[in-house]
A and B are shown apart, each in its own frame.
Chain A
């Protein structure tokens, strides 16, 4: 059953026909959301994953994953735990290496070529579930580190930039503090600002709110909505269905390493086609 719809109905949505896949859903870009879409179908795709396979030892964690993300598109990836969604987005900036298939980010193919990888990582920001701020550096230093060392930006300019982004995530007054002195929600907003300081073209979010207390989830989601409204290309692994409805151009449902269904939030949440998605939705709805 998993293979049949994947091959036939083209649940892995392609916004242009670069790889010759079905294009049936590209017209269905979400229009009823709160955040206006900024998908640019004219530009080359930001991310292309073509038949990507990955194994952890003997465990097949990604099975023929096809995914194309257009510039400016917001994709939300959901699925039960262990479905490979985190592994998939970690493959995009090569925190995990894939064993088969091709991944192109901003037109550059991921390979063992270190220079290509560095170029890609400069353009791809990542926000982790556990924040991963550097505890020995101040908030400001956390934000200026990469611009100074990777972008070779003068320190003063990097600090101005960092303050600008810290202001946008609404915590400029915490700049001199250390990560340990901030709440979880504040830390995650710093992590977002830190990634933005590199002026990335693509942002990856790996369950950014899963480690947060309920009252802090909103402040982080608000920051991400703001980012989405600015037209950032985003891939976000999350269980926040409200967020998905509000900002996603497309929702991708993964299970057991496969992309099972994908479509607009409306299609995926209100009209699930597969049993697996129905089961998943009933479970998370019961949980809420």
Chain B
């Protein structure tokens, strides 16, 4: 098409470029071309259209029109009779209305729920600040230090008139955010070092990094968590005990580190050799070359698989339920153990799933924006 235009222009320089024929552009042309281009595509369009409309209508009926949003509570026991009479025709959001505080904060003392609530807000604020490229420098380190201290003070208490809350009582969303945030914040730098180490010329470092990646990647996360919770204390001297959450946290960091290291290594390998040589020829030191030339390009290349792994690990934190840590998903599961609420799992899991979705979708969208932004100038 463009060739023809060019030729026409070349043949007659006076000719003004013409617009394409109306019938080939615009929404109607698009619909005709993409949805109704033949009898088969028309049939598929109609069938899929019917299925989509039906399921959307069904969901809206269930989730909104027939839904029950609250039930009366008599003597501390929820009267869920009305919900049960729906026989699944409508959602019983009353379980979320009644139990959302338990799902979000677990067994944290009820009167102190404002503390984990603020912690969640602080985490989100921390994510937003860290996501802004304006803060991608040394200021990020004090910001994280201050935020994490604040989070620690709020969760534990015991100072500034806050009552002490032992770690065993923490639960719900803050646990998920703590595990995911610390997990990835420590695993990411670790993975970069390991990936660089795997390409090192020093055999000892290389072997160490290969061993670490292969050993950790070769076992399931659940077995690592078990080891962290059951076996690890056996190796500690008598009387010394490391917090169970911290042990799970370390297991997650090590596990995520091994996976991310392979992603980062992929980026390092994708860079043309000439980039390394040009940096060497200039006389840059190894760390200057790595920090200024190699990593900025390699990490850009692997943003999609990197964020893929991040999202995976955000959700994998829910595996800590296996060692009895009360994360968001465990709290949701526990909320419906109560006899009155048994049988309303769907609503609870939809609610919990929605929270995971919000975080993961935000990560996904952010990574797309970052990718476009960073690659704007460096198309090769």
Interface residues of A (CB under 8 A from B): 93, 95, 118, 121-122, 124-126, 128, 130-136, 138, 145-146, 149-150, 178-181, 194, 198
Q: Among the listed stretches B16-24, B184-192, B255-263, B276-284, which one makes contact with chain A, having 4 or more residues with CB under 8 Å of it? A: B276-284
B300 and A150 contacting across the interface, CB-CB below 8 Å: no
**B75 contacts A by Cβ under 8 Å:** no
**B292 contacts A by Cβ under 8 Å:** yes
Interface residues of B (CB under 8 A from A): 272, 274-275, 277-285, 288, 292-293, 296-297, 300, 374, 377-380
Partner of A149, one of B274, B277, B292, B374: B292
The minimal Cβ–Cβ distance linking A28 to chain B, given in whole angstroms, is 32
Q: Which residues of A contact B274 (CB under 8 A)?
A: 128, 130-132
B277 and A95 contacting across the interface, CB-CB below 8 Å: yes
Given the complex of chains A and B, what is the CA–CA distance between A126 and B285 in angstroms?
16
A136 and B377 contacting across the interface, CB-CB below 8 Å: yes
A134-B275, A145-B292, A149-B292 known; A95 vs B377 contact (CB < 8 Å): no
A135 and B283 contacting across the interface, CB-CB below 8 Å: no
Q: Which residues of B contact A149 (CB under 8 A)?
A: 284, 288, 292
21 pairs of residues in contact across A and B, judged by CB atoms under 8 Å? A93-B281, A95-B281, A121-B281, A121-B282, A122-B283, A124-B281, A130-B272, A131-B274, A132-B278, A134-B279, A134-B293, A135-B297, A136-B297, A136-B300, A138-B377, A149-B292, A150-B282, A150-B284, A150-B288, A179-B378, A180-B380
Besides A132-B274, A132-B275, A180-B378, 8 other A-B contacts (C-beta < 8 A): A93-B280, A95-B280, A126-B281, A128-B278, A132-B278, A136-B377, A179-B378, A181-B377
Q: Which residues of A contact B275 (CB under 8 A)?
A: 132, 134
Q: Which residues of A contact B380 (CB under 8 A)?
A: 135, 180
Given the complex of chains A and B, what is the CA–CA distance between A281 and B98 in angstroms?
90
B280 and A150 contacting across the interface, CB-CB below 8 Å: no
Given the complex of chains A and B, what is the CA–CA distance between A181 and B272 in angstroms?
19
A146 and B280 contacting across the interface, CB-CB below 8 Å: no
Q: Which residue of A lies closest to B282 (CB)?
A: A146
Q: Which residue of B lies closest to A94 (CB)?
A: B280
B379 and A146 contacting across the interface, CB-CB below 8 Å: no
Q: Looking at B278, B288, B296, B374, which has the most chain A CB atoms within 10 Å of its CB?
A: B278
A128-B274, A128-B277, A130-B274 known; A136 vs B284 contact (CB < 8 Å): no
A146 and B378 contacting across the interface, CB-CB below 8 Å: no
Q: Which residues of A contact B279 (CB under 8 A)?
A: 134
Q: Which residues of A contact B280 (CB under 8 A)?
A: 93, 95, 121
Given the complex of chains A and B, what is the CA–CA distance between A128 and B282 in angstroms?
12
A178 and B378 contacting across the interface, CB-CB below 8 Å: yes
The minimal Cβ–Cβ distance linking B295 to chain A, given in whole angstroms, is 10
Partner of A136, one of B285, B288, B296: B296
Given the complex of chains A and B, what is the CA–CA distance between A146 and B289 in angstroms?
10
Q: Which residues of A contact B272 (CB under 8 A)?
A: 130, 132
Given the complex of chains A and B, what is the CA–CA distance between A124 and B380 in angstroms?
27
The minimal Cβ–Cβ distance linking B273 to chain A, given in whole angstroms, is 9
Given the complex of chains A and B, what is the CA–CA distance between A121 and B275 in angstroms?
16
The minimal Cβ–Cβ distance linking A264 to chain B, given in whole angstroms, is 29
Q: Which residue of A lies closest to B274 (CB)?
A: A132
Given the complex of chains A and B, what is the CA–CA distance between A135 and B275 in angstroms?
9
Q: Which residue of A lies closest to B279 (CB)?
A: A134
Partner of A198, one of B277, B278, B283: B283
A150 and B283 contacting across the interface, CB-CB below 8 Å: yes
Q: Which residues of A contact B284 (CB under 8 A)?
A: 145-146, 149-150
A136-B296, A149-B288 known; A121 vs B378 contact (CB < 8 Å): no
Given the complex of chains A and B, what is the CA–CA distance between A121 and B280 in angstroms?
8
Given the complex of chains A and B, what is the CA–CA distance between A179 and B293 in angstroms?
14
Given the complex of chains A and B, what is the CA–CA distance between A189 and B280 in angstroms?
19
Q: Which residues of A contact B300 (CB under 8 A)?
A: 136
A134-B293, A136-B296, A180-B380 known; A145 vs B282 contact (CB < 8 Å): yes
Given the complex of chains A and B, what is the CA–CA distance between A93 and B283 in angstroms?
9
Q: Which residues of B contact A194 (CB under 8 A)?
A: 282
Q: Which residue of A lies closest to B289 (CB)?
A: A149
Q: Which residue of B lies closest to A204 (CB)?
A: B281
B277 and A146 contacting across the interface, CB-CB below 8 Å: no
B278 and A134 contacting across the interface, CB-CB below 8 Å: yes
Q: Which residues of B contact A130 (CB under 8 A)?
A: 272, 274
The minimal Cβ–Cβ distance linking B274 to chain A, given in whole angstroms, is 4
Q: Which residues of B contact A133 (CB under 8 A)?
A: 278
Given the complex of chains A and B, what is the CA–CA distance between A213 and B280 in angstroms?
27
B285 and A118 contacting across the interface, CB-CB below 8 Å: yes
A146 and B296 contacting across the interface, CB-CB below 8 Å: no
A134-B278, A135-B297, A136-B296 known; A121 vs B377 contact (CB < 8 Å): no
**Ordered nearest first, which 9 A-B pairs have the shortest CB separation?**
A121-B283, A132-B278, A132-B274, A178-B377, A146-B282, A126-B281, A135-B378, A122-B283, A150-B283
